[in-house]
């Protein structure tokens, strides 16, 4: 038990496997090693999840070249309807459409909406602000060309897990600051809100969940210039343009070094009058979105997130969207 929380049995097993792997390492792994291990683990877990979801990969223009977007369409969804633009996690240095394929299939299935997963540029090849530029550009292109993506322009949400949740929040902030229509809803799963994270109690409580050396490596690759640590595009707790943001759902695992900073962002949004629904999952750890396949408690948390998305996009229970939004069974 830590901080009056007990980690789920399945998560305890994952922590032990991670600790064993670390003991077998003779040095801090490289970015290439981290990516390889992440891809092998997450892509293998994703196999066979909700195969009935139809997918289509497209490429759209981006600030640094073409951006790949994968569209997930539930079988019951026909014609234009609401959608979620999703940004994967991975510390801004790893992750992809493939590593989060199961996450998007799950959300598409249980929220009955299209999911558009964005393959933004990663550091160190493309350090800050490349990921932010891709995320903002992708969202606005999807809204402006909504008919090409089969979505309703005034019913597009943003979401993501970990680093992707940070990007989703920045997309909303950018819209408010530039006086353009923001997303209609935000789905933020364990967002990092301060790139340094110092001064938050959870950072000291849960180093066994996310290795501080790995966190530092990811930060330094993504943002090598410490003078930018307070930039609100990387530390969203520093953002001041928050009035007018859409309703937002924030999920916090009980065992997460970033838990307290994520919950500080919830408090900040509430001070600015944003409609926020916050859910702490006391038995789960950072990354639960990507291992719901092996942890029943993580699956429950993801079902809650999918239902929050359904509510945020006003999709009626047991209904799919058709044409201009007429519900069909």
Active site residue: 50, 126, 281, 286, which one?
286
| Residue 24 φ then ψ, to 5° | -80, -10
Q: Active-site residue 162, yes or no? A: yes
Three-state DSSP class for residue 71? strand
Q: Active-site residue 231, yes or no? A: no
Q: Active-site residue 256, yes or no? A: yes
What is the layout of strands, in order, in the sheet containing 67-73? 54-60, 67-73, 114-119, 81-87, 151-161, 186-189, 248-255, 276-285
Dist CA 111 CA 99 (whole Å): 20
Dist CA 250 CA 244 (whole Å): 17
Three-state DSSP class for residue 149? helix
Burial 68-85 (b: 16+ CB within 10 A, else e): bbbbbbbeebeebbbbbb
Q: How many helices (H) and strands (E) does the chain have?
A: 10, 10
The β-bridge relationship of strands 67-73 and 151-161 is unpaired
Kind plus residue range of the DSSP H or E element containing 65: none
Three-state DSSP class for residue 57? strand
Contact 219, 234 (CB under 8 A): no
Active site residue: 134, 161, 256, 260, which one?
256
- CA-closest candidate to residue 288, choices 299, 303, 277: 299
Dist CA 223 CA 128 (whole Å): 6
Active site residue: 11, 117, 137, 162, which one?
162
The β-bridge relationship of strands 114-119 and 67-73 is antiparallel
Whether the link from the prior residue into 317 is cis, omega within 30° of 0, is no
* Residues annotated as catalytic (active site), given as ranges: 162, 256, 286
């Amino acid at each position: 038990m830590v901080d009056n929380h007990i980690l789920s049995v399945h998560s305890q097993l994952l922590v032990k496997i991670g600790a064993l792997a670390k003991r077998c390492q003779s040095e801090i792994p490289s970015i290439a090693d981290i990516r390889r291990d992440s891809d092998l683990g997450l892509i293998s877990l994703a196999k066979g999840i909700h195969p009935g979801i139809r997918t289509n990969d497209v490429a759209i223009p981006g600030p640094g070249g073409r951006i790949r977007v994968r569209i997930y369409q539930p079988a019951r969804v026909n014609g234009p309807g609401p959608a979620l633009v999703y940004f994967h996690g991975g510390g801004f240095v790893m992750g992809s459409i493939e590593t989060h394929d199961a996450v998007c299939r799950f959300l598409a299935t249980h929220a009955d909406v299209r999911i558009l997963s964005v393959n933004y540029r990663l550091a160190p090849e493309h350090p800050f602000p490349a990921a932010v530029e891709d995320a903002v550009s992708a969202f606005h292109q999807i809204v402006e060309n909504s008919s090409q993506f089969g979505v309703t322009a005034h019913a597009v949400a943003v979401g993501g897990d970990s680093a992707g949740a940070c990007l989703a929040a920045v997309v909303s902030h950018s819209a408010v600051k530039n006086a353009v229509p923001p997303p209609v809803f935000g789905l933020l799963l364990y967002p990092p809100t301060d790139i340094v994270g110092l001064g938050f109690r959870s950072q000291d409580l849960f180093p066994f969940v996310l290795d501080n050396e790995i966190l530092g490596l990811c930060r330094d690759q993504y943002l090598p210039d410490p003078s930018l640590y307070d930039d609100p595009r990387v530390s969203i707790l520093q953002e001041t343009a928050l009035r007018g943001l859409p309703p937002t759902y924030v999920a916090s695992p009980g065992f997460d070094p970033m838990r307290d900073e994520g919950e500080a962002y919830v408090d900040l949004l509430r001070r600015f009058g944003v409609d926020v629904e916050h859910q702490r999952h006391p038995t789960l750890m950072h990354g639960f979105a990507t291992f719901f396949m092996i942890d029943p408690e993580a699956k429950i948390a993801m079902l809650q997130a999918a239902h929050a998305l359904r509510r945020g996009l006003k999709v009626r229970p047991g209904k799919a969207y058709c044409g201009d939004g007429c519900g069909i069974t």
